[in-house]
Amino acid sequence: MSVNQNNMESNEENLKSNIADELKNEKKSKGISFKTIFMLMIVIAIVLFMLAKGILSLKTSLTADRHEGEPEIVTVDNRSFNITRNTRNPDNLLPPNDPENGVDPENPIPNEVEIESKPIIIKGRFGLAKGDDKDAKQQETQPIVQPTPQQQSSVDNEKNKQGTKIVKAEVLKLNPNLSIYRGTFIKCSLRTALISQISGDVGCIISDDVYSANGTTLLIEKGSIVNGAFRRASVNQGDDRVFVLWEEIRTPNNLIIRIDSGASDVLGGQGISGWVDNHFWTRFGNAVLVSLMSDLSSAAASRLQKEHTFTDLNNTTQGGTDVAKSIIEKNVDIPPTIYRNHGDSVGIYTNQDIDFSDVYKLEYRK
């Protein structure tokens, strides 16, 4: 019996403790739910406040924009103005019918009144007004000073500088059927390769027939040979063209034509262009090698000094520098060499009129 009673008491205590725990948990859950609801209400209130504020600001901005777009209305007080018009009777505008003053009562037309007028004299470059007669007389009495020869020559020089010199046109005393005018472009192809390293001769073959100034007479046949020359001294540093002087043309009809005109490219540019060899390594290669050897000797000298091995290499270094300078001074002025292959198209730009009247004669066909 005692054991059962103890069990019952322990069960009752367990039940009481369980009930107490459930009550505590229920209170906690209620407290948490109240806190959650309160926080949600605060958040909702903040959101509603922000929405209301945004709506109000949007309304104010819309009203402001609407007022800005509307024109400004200005009201003016109504006022009455009494305007008095001076009305005149058309009958009063007519002249009175006065027979004594030359007005006919039946035909009331006023007589023409003559008004004395004097001629108006306008003062200009080629005329004088009446009041300027004295000045004109004074000008007539003043002597005209002629410029001295020195002054006249200085004036002429100044006019020539300003480009006011007058050049008269002349009739060209050439038959356009038997002449080629200055500035004619003749196309030809190189017979041989052109290398500007050594001065020498060059030739080309005319590619197309050359006609007279009016285009009616064949004067130079295609296949004619052109001989010329060039000089090495005409090529300097930075140049990519060599000047060639075409001296003569030999036609298949054993005709020699002296032209003495400069060569050009296919577009008429002066000189013949080509591939350029600037001889960079010839001019600077040896100097670079000598400078490199000098730097190596300087490095070796500094290393020996660090190792306390005293060897004087200053003379060797200075000697290498002097050799490099002498090599550069000797080879720096080597001009570039221009190469142009045979068969390339070049041109002849005639710088004078060529007359064929002594070698050709025209005959009219019947």
Q: How confident is the model at residue 209 (pLDDT cuts 50, 70, 90)?
A: very high
Q: Which pLDDT does position 124 carry in this prediction? A: 42
> Which of 119-128, 255-264, 319-328 has the highest mean predicted lDDT (pLDDT)?
255-264
Q: Which of 181, 226, 192 is nearest to 207 (CA)?
A: 226
What's residue 197's pLDDT? 87
Confidence of residue 59 (pLDDT cuts 50, 70, 90): low
Ramachandran sector of residue 158 (left: φ over 0; alpha: ψ -120 to 50; beta: rest): alpha
User: Is the Cβ–Cβ distance between 188 and 265 less than 8 Å?
Assistant: no
- Biggest CA pair distance of the chain: 176
- pTM (two decimals): 0.47
Q: How many whole angstroms separate alpha carbon 358 and alpha carbon 147?
A: 51
Residue whose structure tokens are 């023409």: 112
State pLDDT tens for residues 307-355: 666 555 555 556 656 666 676 667 677 888 999 999 999 999 999 999 9
Domain ranges in the chain? Answer: 179-277+338-355, 280-333
Our measurement of the distance from residue 8's CA atom to the centroid of its chain's CA atoms, rounded to an integer in Å, reads: 114
Q: Tell me the mean pLDDT in the region 259-274.
A: 92
pLDDT at 79 over 80: no
Point out which residues pair with 337 in neighbouring strands: 277
Amino acid identity, residue 338? I
CA distance 327 to 222: 50
Task: Supply the DSSP symbol for 148.
Answer: P
Question: 179-277+338-355 is classed in which CATH architecture?
Answer: Beta Barrel (2.40)
Cα dihedral angle (314, 319, 320, 326), rounded to 10 degrees?
A: 150
CA distance 348 to 259: 9
Res 182: pLDDT: 94
pLDDT exceeds 60 at position 358 = yes
The model's pLDDT over 216-257, given as tens digits with 9 standing for 90+, comes to: 999 999 999 999 999 887 788 888 899 999 999 999 999 999
Statement: residue 37 has pLDDT above 70: yes
